[in-house]
């Protein structure tokens, strides 16, 4: 994650916007919803987007 943010910051224009997205992995039936899989699908991207956002802010603003 750190290297991805650093590489993006090194490109011309740097980092202006970081779009953090958390969501379930694609469409599916509500009746067939696997609650454990849904919790992982929501928690993991939210946690990783927090890490990416924190790194992007530190790179952007020092």
Question: Could you tell me the CA-to-CA distances from 39 to 4, 7, 19 in Å, in that order?
Answer: 26, 31, 21
pTM for this entry: 0.44
Query: Tell me: the pLDDT tens digits for 3-59?
Result: 878 888 888 888 777 665 555 555 555 566 778 887 887 788 888 888 888 888 888
Residues 53, 54, 56: CA angle, nearest 5 degrees: 60
End-to-end CA distance of the chain: 17
User: Are the CB atoms for 15 and 56 separated by under 8 Å?
Assistant: yes
pLDDT digits (tens, 9 = 90+) for 6-18: 888 888 888 777 6
With 0-12 / 13-18 / 19 or more C-beta atoms within 10 angstroms meaning exposed / middle / buried, residue 55 is buried
All structural domains of the chain with their residue ranges: 2-61
């Amino acid at each position: 994650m750190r290297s991805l943010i650093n590489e993006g910051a090194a490109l011309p224009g740097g980092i202006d916007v970081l779009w953090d997205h958390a969501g379930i992995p694609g469409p599916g039936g509500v009746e067939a919803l696997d609650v454990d899989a849904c919790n992982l699908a929501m928690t993991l991207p939210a946690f990783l987007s927090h890490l990416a956002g924190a790194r992007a802010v530190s790179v952007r603003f020092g």
